[in-house]
Structure 1
Amino acid sequence: MQRIFEALSSAPRRKILAYLAHAELSAGDIASRFEMSKPSISQHLSILEAAGLVASEKRGQYVFYRLMPESLTNTLNGFVQEVCPVARPLRKESAALGARTGGDDSAA
């Protein structure tokens, strides 16, 4: 979770995620949308990939990036569950119920 929030702390990285939300893009396509060096863009992409927010695929001489929306969604959902005052009692209730039933109902 820490890596994702650190990745999201940067405005250029949030902008890259917004671009990737609509289409898979090559590193060159992404870099052409910014007024910064290609090595800087590459560093931002590496941070996003290390956080699990994007995935890359090399095709010939190009590297294409795509958004991994489930990673961001799951992390944000987990964070909200931790801080949401309504969720805390529900998690405790669910855990207690799971303990009583041997945990068999946890997927239901």
Structure 2
Amino acid sequence: GGSTSTFRVKGARTVEIQIRNATAVFHELGLTSSMIDLIQINCEGCEYEVLEAFLFAGLLPRFRNIQVQFHYLSSIPNMEMRYCLVAQALSSTHRLTHRRSFVWENWQLQ
């Protein structure tokens, strides 16, 4: 992918990283039929994309607990609608056990 960080510290060294598709990595690791006890997602805005990918791949029920920090950023296209769609999808397989809006949420498999 072509992502970069907007956080720069003068004089600090930079490290180039590769951003990978979460669903593809899940498949590569052979985890598509495994139960995962906990996934924690805090990726400064990419959580919508990650959870949507897991949703469309049918992988959400593989997680017993999903801890996520949703970020409220104007740079995220259709953020409110996407949040509502992800929360609605999660509520069909998980129950919300903790919510501190735009801080942390925990969803536990029903």
- Per the normalisation by structure 1, the TM-score is 0.30
Task: Point out the structure with max Rg over C-alpha.
Answer: 1
The structure carrying a bigger helix percent of its residues is: 1
- Per the normalisation by structure 2, the TM-score is 0.30
The structure carrying a bigger strand percent of its residues is: 2
